[in-house]
Amino acid sequence: MPRVKRGNKRRERRKKLLSLASGYFLGKSKLYKFAKEAVERAGNFAYHGRKRKKRDFRRLWIIRINAATREHGVSYSQFMAGLKRAGVDLDRKSLADIAARDAAAFAALVEKAKAAPATA
């Protein structure tokens, strides 16, 4: 089997990983072994954070919508059920934005949700 020295490939790979770890504390930014562990750990946190971000924003939107609907004497669940019955197809992100920026339009949505006929 031919001998492989890997000089350039190894150096490039290590350099790339150390650049990913730049700014880390002490040896984690300078020593390959520790930098490798730190970058892998950071990648795991970043991956989970991207998943959490979606949940966190949805929770925030629901909280904002709930606060706005309570001012009109309706709970969040009643409001969302009423919108569904009325055929209003807006997502929570846009509803939260309307609640925060345009009180009159949100009040109209609440009235539309209240007026929607309840099914048995």
pLDDT value, residue 120: 45
Task: Give the global pTM.
Answer: 0.79
pLDDT mean for each 10 residues of the chain (120 residues): 84 95 96 97 98 98 97 95 94 97 96 83
Superfamily of domain 7-115: Ribosomal protein L20, C-terminal domain (1.10.1900.20)
Residue burial 24-45, b: 16+ Cβ < 10 Å; e: rest: beeebbeeeebbbebbeeeeee
What does the alpha-carbon distance between residue 38 and residue 41 come to, in Å, rounded to a whole number? 5
